[in-house]
Amino acid sequence: MTEMYNHHVIEKKWQKVWDEKNPFKAEDDYSKPKFYALVEFPYPSGQGLHVGHPRPYTALDIVSRKRRMQGYNVLFPMGWDAFGLPTENYAIKNKIHPAVVTKNNVERFKNQLKSLGYSFDWEREVNTTDPDYYKWTQWIFLKLFKAGLAYKKEMPINWCTSCKVGLANEEVVNGVCERCGGEVVRKVKSEWMLKITEYADKLIDGLNDVDYIERVKTQQKNWIGRSEGAEVDFKLKQVDETLRVYTTRPDTLFGATYMVVSPEHPLLDKYKDLIENFDEVVSYREKAALKSDFERTELVKEKTGVCLKGISAINPVNDKEIPVWISDYVLMSYGTGAIMAVPAHDTRDFEFAQKFNLPIIQVVKSTEGEVDLTKEAFTDVATGTMVNSGFLDDLSVEDAKEKIKNFLEEKGIGHRKINYKLRDWVFSRQRYWGEPIPIIECEKCGFVPLKEEELPLLLPEVESYMPTDNGESPLAAITDWVNVKCPCCGGDAKRETDTMPQWAGSSWYFLRYTDPKNTEALASKEALNYWMPVDWYNGGMEHTTLHLLYSRFWHKFLYDENYVTTPEPYQRRTSHGMILGENGEKMSKSRGNVINPDDIVNDYGADTLRTYEMFIGAFDLAVSWSENGVKGCRRFLERVWKLQDLVVDGEEYSKENETKMHQTIKKVSSDFESLKFNTAIAAMMELINVFYKAEKLNKAEYKTLLILLNPVAPHITEEIWEKLGCEGYVYEQTWPEYDEEKTIESTVEIAVQINGKIKGTINIAKDAAKEDVLNIAKEAISSKLEGKNIIKEIYVPGRIVNIVAK
RNA sequence: GCACUAGUGGCGGAAUUGGCAGACGCAACGGACUCAAAAUCCGUCGAGAGCAAUCUCAUGAGGGUUCAAGUCCCUCCUGGUGCACCA
Nucleotide nearest to A218 (CA to C1'): B4
Instruction: Return the H-helix or E-strand segment holding A64.
Output: helix A54-69
With a cut of 0.90, is the ipTM above it?
Answer: yes
pLDDT digits (tens, 9 = 90+) for A133-165: 999 999 999 999 999 999 998 887 887 777 777
Mean pLDDT (whole number) for A208-221: 88
Instruction: Judge whether A569 and A534 are in contact, CB under 8 Å.
Output: yes
Separation in Å: B43 C1' and A688 CA? 19
Nearest protein residue to the C1' atom of B4, measured from CA: A219
pLDDT of the residue at A299 = 45
Cα distance between residue A640 and residue A644, in whole Å:
8
Q: How far is the CA of A275 from the C1' of B44 (A)?
A: 83
- Over residues A572-591, mean pLDDT: 80
User: Closest Cα partner for A516 from A110, A140, A143, A128?
Assistant: A128
Output the distance from A639 CA to B86 C1' rounded to whole Å.
Answer: 43
What are phi and psi for residue A744, nearest 5 degrees?
-95, 130
Q: What is the DSSP string of A629-663?
A: HHHHHHHHHHHHHHGGGTEE--SS--GGGHHHHHH
Q: Are A536 and A571 in contact (CB under 8 A)?
A: yes
Beta bridge partner(s), residue A576? A540
Q: How far is the CA of A738 from the C1' of B83 (A)?
A: 47
Q: Which residues pair with A339 in a beta bridge?
A: A260
Question: Measuring from the CA of residue A347 to each C1', which nucleotide is nearest?
Answer: B1
Rounded distance between C-alpha atoms, residue A280 and residue A568, angstroms: 51
Q: How far is the CA of A2 from the C1' of B35 (A)?
A: 28
Rounded Cα distance between A542 and A576, Å, is 10
Taking the CB of residue A66, how many other CB atoms lie within 10 A of it? 22
Which residue has the least CA–C1' distance to nucleotide B13? A617
Q: Which residue has the higher pLDDT, A333 or A527?
A: A527
Q: What is the mean pLDDT of residues A476-500?
A: 92
Closest residue (CA) to C1' of nucleotide B41 is: A692
Q: Which nucleotide is nearest to A638 if distance is taken from CA to C1'?
A: B40
> What's the CA–C1' distance between A781 and B20, in Å?
15
The pLDDT tens digits of the residues spanning A730-740 come to 999 999 999 98
Which nucleotide is nearest to A800 if distance is taken from CA to C1'?
B19
A303 CA to B1 C1', in Å?
A: 13
Measure, in angstroms, how far nucleotide B39 C1' is from residue A604 CA.
15
Helix A658-673 vs helix A677-694: crossing angle, to nearest 10: 160
- Residues 6 or more apart in contact with residue A715 via CB below 8 angstroms: A7, A10, A11, A13, A14, A15, A117, A605, A606, A607
Q: What is the pLDDT of residue A328?
A: 83
Identify the helix (H) or strand (E) that includes residue A231: strand A227-236
Of the two residues A800 and A288, the one the predictor is more confident about is A800
Nearest nucleotide, CA A684 to C1': B24
Å from A622 (CA) to B83 (C1')?
A: 20
Give the pairing type, strands A172-173 and A176-177: antiparallel
pLDDT band at A294 (very low <50, low <70, confident <90, very high): low
Render pLDDT for A395-452 as a digit per residue (tens, 0 to 9). Answer: 888 889 999 999 999 999 999 998 888 889 989 998 899 999 999 999 999 999 999 9
At residue A256, the 3 state secondary structure works out as coil
pLDDT in tens, A35-79: 999 999 999 988 889 899 999 999 999 999 999 999 999 999 999
> pLDDT at position A1, please?
57
pLDDT of A104 higher than 90: yes
Q: For strand B, which nucleotides have at least one atom less than 7 Å from a protein CB?
A: 1-6, 11-16, 19-21, 23-27, 39-42, 55-56, 67-69, 80-87
Lookup: nucleotide whose C1' is closest to A222 CA: B3
For residue A599, how many other CB atoms are within 10 A of its CB? 11
- What is the three-class DSSP state of A376? coil
> Residue A347's pLDDT is what?
79
Q: Who's near A673: CB < 8 A, 6+ residues apart?
A: A63
pLDDT score for A672: 95
Phi, psi of A242 (to 5 degrees): -110, 145
Q: What is the mean pLDDT of residues A228-243?
A: 91
Cβ burial, residue A4 (10 Å; 0-12/13-18/19+): exposed
A544, burial (CB in 10 Å: exposed 0-12, middle 13-18, buried 19+): buried
Better-predicted residue by pLDDT, A62 or A294: A62
Q: How far apart are CA A251 and CA A389, in angstroms?
A: 9
- C-beta separation of A118 from A510 below 8 A: no
Query: Å from A19 (CA) to B14 (C1')?
Result: 38
Mean pLDDT of chain A: 89
**Distance of alpha carbon A65 from alpha carbon A713, whole angstroms:** 11
Nearest nucleotide by C1' from A422 CA?
A: B84
Q: Assign A300 a pLDDT band (cuts: 50, 70, 90).
A: very low
B49 C1' – A750 CA distance, angstroms?
28
As a rounded value in angstroms, the CA-to-C1' distance for A486 and B70 is 69
DSSP, collapsed to helix, strand or coil, labels residue A157 as strand
Q: What is the DSSP string of A300-333?
A: SSPP--EEEEEEEEE-TTT--EEEEEE-TTS-TT
Asked whether residue A781 carries a pLDDT value surpassing 90, the answer given is no
Provide, rounded to the nearest whole percent, the portion of chain A with pLDDT above 70: 97
Residue nearest to nucleotide B83 (CA to C1'): A294
> How far apart, in whole angstroms, are the C-alpha atoms of residue A110 and residue A297?
44
- With a pLDDT cut of 90, the percent of chain A lying above it is 55
Question: How high is the pLDDT of residue A297?
Answer: 54
Cα–Cα distance for residue pair A581/A593, rounded to 1 Å: 5
Distance CA(A561)–CA(A306), nearest Å, equals 49
pTM of the model: 0.90
Which nucleotide has its C1' atom closest to residue A801's CA?
A: B19
Decide if pLDDT at A186 tops 80: no
| Closest to A619 in 3D by CA, of A671, A569, A567, A663 | A671
d(CA A661, CA A665): 6
Can you tell me the distance from the alpha carbon of A18 to that of A24, in angstroms, rounded to the nearest whole number?
Answer: 8
* Contacts of the segment A365-373: beta carbons below 8 A, 24+ positions apart: A373/A344
pLDDT mean over A18-29? 94
pLDDT at A325 > cutoff 80: yes
**pLDDT greater than 70 at residue A493:** yes
Which nucleotide lies nearest residue A622, CA to C1'? Answer: B80
Packing angle of the helix pair A606-615, A54-69 (nearest 10 deg): 100
The one-character DSSP state at A13 is H
Nearest nucleotide by C1' position to the A636 CA atom: B25
Please give the pLDDT value at position A291: 66
Mean pLDDT for the stretch of residues A526-554? 93
- The DSSP bridge partners found for residue A385 are A365, A396
Question: In this predicted structure, what is the pLDDT of residue A368?
Answer: 65
Contact between A343 and A327 (Cβ < 8 Å)? no
SS3 helix, strand, coil % of chain A, rounded to 5?
A: 40, 20, 40
Protein CA A633 to sugar C1' B27 (Å): 15
CA of A423, C1' of B84: distance in angstroms: 8
Distance (Å) of CA A142 to CA A138, A230, A438, A453? 6, 35, 7, 12
* A754 closest-nt by C1' vs CA: B67
